[in-house]
């Protein structure tokens, strides 16, 4: 049985298996093992949240919203949150990769921009990191 873990045979006897860990660390979901489908389920439960919140299966208790502005957490580097069906959904972090192998690509929360910092140590001497890659 899936929810009890796979038993093993040791010295002619059955040894109990290890049950799957279905906990998702989201406080407002009910975590259960579905023996019929052989999967873990994490079911949102709005009653575990405050009066003006709903349970998002990945974000936990989130405020109810009427528009995207209600969901903005003020953080640039985790993307723009959106309001979907009255609940806030997480944003997608900006892709700061400039495809130049000798730069360190970071999201700067202070200035709300991506930065691509040259790293000469990624180049073979005497080359240095330029906007297009290692060069003279």
The pLDDT value recorded for residue 21 is 94
- Mean pLDDT of successive 10-residue stretches along the chain, which has 136 residues: 86 88 94 93 93 85 87 91 86 96 96 96 95 93
For the chain, what is the total number of helices (H) and then of strands (E)?
0, 12
Q: From 115, 135, 112, select the one nearest 125 (Cα to Cα).
A: 135
Range of the domain at 16: 2-89
Same domain, 42 and 20: yes
β-pairing, 113-118 vs 103-108, is antiparallel
Residue 134 exposed, middle or buried by CB count within 10 Å (0-12, 13-18, 19+): middle
The pLDDT value recorded for residue 40 is 95
The pLDDT value recorded for residue 7 is 86
Same domain, 78 and 109: no
Please give the Cα distance from 97 to 111 (Å, whole number): 17
Please give the Cα distance from 29 to 74 (Å, whole number): 26
- What global pTM score does this model have? 0.52
The pLDDT value recorded for residue 11 is 87
DSSP annotation of 109 reads T
Q: Is residue 98 part of a domain?
A: no
The pLDDT value recorded for residue 28 is 95
Q: Is residue 24 part of a domain?
A: yes
The pLDDT value recorded for residue 123 is 96
Query: What total number of domains does the chain contain?
Result: 2
């Amino acid at each position: 049985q899936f929810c009890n873990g796979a038993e093993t045979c040791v010295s002619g006897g059955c040894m109990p298996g290890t049950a799957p860990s279905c906990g998702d660390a989201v406080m407002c979901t009910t975590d259960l093992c579905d023996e019929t489908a052989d999967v873990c389920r994490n079911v949102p439960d709005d009653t575990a949240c405050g009066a003006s919140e709903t349970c998002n299966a990945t974000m936990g208790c989130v405020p109810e919203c009427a528009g995207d502005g209600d969901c903005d957490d003020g953080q640039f580097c985790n993307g723009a949150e959106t309001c979907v069906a009255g609940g806030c959904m997480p944003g997608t972090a900006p892709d700061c990769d400039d495809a130049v192998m000798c730069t360190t690509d970071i999201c700067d929360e202070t200035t709300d921009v991506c930065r691509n910092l040259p790293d000469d140590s990624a180049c073979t001497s005497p080359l240095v990191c330029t906007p297009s890659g290692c060069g003279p």
